[in-house]
């Protein structure tokens, strides 16, 4: 049976293999969370178990039950394991385990790794995978140690260690799961916690290819003479721009909520919320208490999530950079898109546009179905007022962010299933999902005489 399964998996396309790995992990996680030992009460609704497992594997952080009080230590351990698997990528761990035990790695698995972690073919994919594990372990242990020192005076040593480890893994994997019912609202004045969590989120969201390139530049003399890649420069510039622009705008728009805080605390809170929109999902302020302008801009930040090859999901920062640069180049009357003295292939520009169009269609379709299948949320004055919260929730699910205005717990069974699908699409990526649905793109087709049409 095992050999038959492996043989079938070996002929799958990398896109299908990637989706299968996530679905299989979600199924196992759901079964474990439904065990009596996983919850304090001894039982959980199957839909809630599926939702929680999906949210953990897709490193989203949306919850329908409180993680810290509803799940037992065993259940929290299952969630933590699912977060780590989802953050690193199931295929990453599978390929590494095959390497360790001396088993042959399928060609499709190696190609799946190429698609996830590299924008160009490379022959050092295994070296990259080893570096990913070392980097992840180092950063998570460092983060857990710093968080332990934050909590060790308030909790017993063993509990402080556990809190530090859980939140370090959750932050680095951009999952946003917290053992505290109100996330970090009670901790928003702590410089140590804010700095540690923000650093973990940024390092987890930059993308392993960027970190690996920096590592190679600092350890190899041959690499030092080479220029940094366009990928490296684009990710750093775009991530920094989104973070600081987001903090500045939130600082301007949120005058009422932050009026009683000092300027230093306001700066720290807005910077934290801007960074957490990079698909992390923690919060130090009440999201439901933010004004509409802040929420609208946060939806923009959540939509353009982490960077390629990272722990996060959503539309990648590089896609945003390509679209912004392409729009600017066309306004300037330039035929080709150039970034950092390099020309970007037309295929990459077309793919970026397609990804954005498809993702917007997915978000709007999901929002429509959520409101349509639950009349209580889609009609009357109260339903109209809840429209923003469900739009916010849908974008948060697609971007695998996990920030919520409180609408997740009010979803019915169909609504929860719709959000589950959106989280999976957001994690595996729109291009992968599009390939699975539509198949490989046609390379040739009929060509007719050209005729122009008006656009605007």
Select the more confidently predicted residue: 16 or 337. Answer: 337
- Among candidate residues 196, 193, 189, 220, the one with its CA nearest the CA of residue 127: 220
pLDDT mean over 404-432: 86
pLDDT mean over 310-325: 86
Is 325 within 8 Å of 318 (Cβ atoms)? no
Residue 108 has pLDDT above 80, yes or no: no
Select the more confidently predicted residue: 57 or 18. Answer: 57
pLDDT mean over 97-121: 51
Angle subtended by helix axes 413-428 and 387-398, to nearest 10 = 40
Task: Find the DSSP H helices in 332-412.
Answer: 346-373, 375-378, 380-385, 387-398
Chain-centroid distance of CA 154 in Å reads 31
Helices H / strands E in the chain, number of each: 22, 2
Burial grade of 262 (CB within 10 A; 0-12, 13-18, 19 or more): exposed
- In three-state form (DSSP H/G/I as H, E/B as E, the rest C), the secondary structure along 427-446 is HHCHHHHHHHHHCCCCCCCC
Question: For residue 310, what pLDDT is reported?
Answer: 78
What pTM did the predictor assign? 0.87
Residue 112 has pLDDT above 80, yes or no: no
Nearest-5° angle of CA 35, CA 39, CA 41?
A: 110
Angle subtended by helix axes 46-57 and 73-88, to nearest 10 = 40
Question: For residue 101, what pLDDT is reported?
Answer: 44
Long-range pairs of 90-93 with CB within 8 A, sequence gap ≥ 24? 90/21, 90/22, 90/24, 90/25, 90/57, 91/17, 91/18, 91/21, 91/116, 92/116, 92/117, 92/129, 92/132
pLDDT tens-digit profile of 186-206? Answer: 888 899 999 999 999 999 888
pLDDT tens-digit profile of 134-192? Answer: 888 999 999 999 999 999 989 999 999 999 999 999 999 989 899 998 899 888 889 99
Q: What DSSP assignment string belongs to 29-62?
A: HHHHHTSGGGBSSS---HHHHHHHHHHHHTT---
Residue 359 has pLDDT above 70, yes or no: yes
Select the more confidently predicted residue: 200 or 263. Answer: 200
- Among candidate residues 226, 227, 225, 234, the one with its CA nearest the CA of residue 207: 234
Domain residue ranges of the chain, discontinuous segments joined by +: 1-118, 122-291, 345-437
Select the more confidently predicted residue: 12 or 348. Answer: 348
pLDDT mean over 27-47: 95
Residue 106 has pLDDT above 60, yes or no: no
């Amino acid at each position: 049976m095992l050999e038959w399964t492996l043989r079938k998996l070996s002929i799958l396309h990398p896109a299908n293999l990637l989706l299968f790995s996530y679905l299989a992990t979600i199924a196992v996680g759901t079964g474990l969370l439904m065990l009596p030992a996983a919850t304090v009460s001894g039982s959980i609704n199957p839909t809630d178990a599926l939702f929680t497992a999906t949210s953990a594997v897709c490193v989203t952080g949306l919850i329908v039950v409180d993680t810290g009080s509803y799940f037992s230590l065993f259940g929290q351990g299952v969630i933590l394991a699912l977060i780590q698997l989802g953050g690193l990528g199931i295929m990453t761990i599978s390929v590494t385990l095959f390497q360790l035990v001396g088993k042959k790695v399928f060609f499709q698995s190696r190609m799946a790794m190429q698609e996830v972690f590299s924008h160009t073919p490379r022959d050092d994919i295994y070296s990259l995978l080893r570096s990913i594990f070392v980097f992840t372990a180092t950063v998570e242990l460092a983060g857990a140690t710093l968080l332990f020192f934050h909590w060790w005076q308030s909790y017993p040593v063993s509990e402080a260690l556990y809190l530090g480890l859980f939140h370090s893994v959750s932050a680095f994997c951009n999952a946003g799961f917290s053992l505290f019912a109100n996330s970090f609202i009670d901790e928003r004045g702590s410089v140590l916690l804010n700095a540690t969590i923000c650093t973990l989120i940024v390092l987890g969201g930059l993308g392993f290819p960027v970190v690996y390139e920096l590592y190679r530049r600092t350890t190899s003399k041959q690499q030092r003479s080479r220029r940094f890649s366009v990928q490296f420069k684009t990710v750093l510039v775009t991530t920094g721009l989104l973070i600081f622009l987001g903090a500045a705008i939130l600082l301007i728009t949120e005058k009422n909520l932050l009026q009683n805080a000092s300027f230093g605390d306001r700066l720290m809170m807005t910077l934290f919320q801007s960074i957490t929109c990079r698909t992390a999902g923690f919060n130090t302020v009440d999201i439901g208490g933010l004004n509409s302008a802040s929420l609208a801009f946060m939806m923009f930040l959540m939509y353009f999530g982490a960077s390629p090859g990272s722990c996060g999901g959503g539309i990648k920062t590089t896609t945003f950079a390509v679209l912004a640069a392409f729009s600017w180049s066309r306004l300037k009357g330039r035929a080709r898109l150039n970034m950092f003295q390099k020309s970007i292939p037309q295929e990459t520009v077309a793919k970026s546009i397609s990804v954005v169009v498809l993702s917007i269609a997915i978000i709007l379709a999901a929002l429509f179905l959520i409101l349509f299948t639950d009349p209580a949320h889609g009609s009357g004055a109260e339903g109209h007022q809840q429209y923003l919260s469900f739009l916010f929730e849908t974008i948060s699910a697609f971007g695998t962010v996990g920030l919520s205005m409180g609408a997740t717990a009010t979803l019915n069974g169909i609504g929860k299933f719709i959000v589950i699908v959106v989280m999976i699409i957001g994690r595996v990526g729109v291009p992968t999902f599009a390939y699975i649905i539509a198949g490989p793109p046609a390379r040739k087709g009929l060509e007719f005489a050209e005729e122009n049409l008006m656009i605007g």
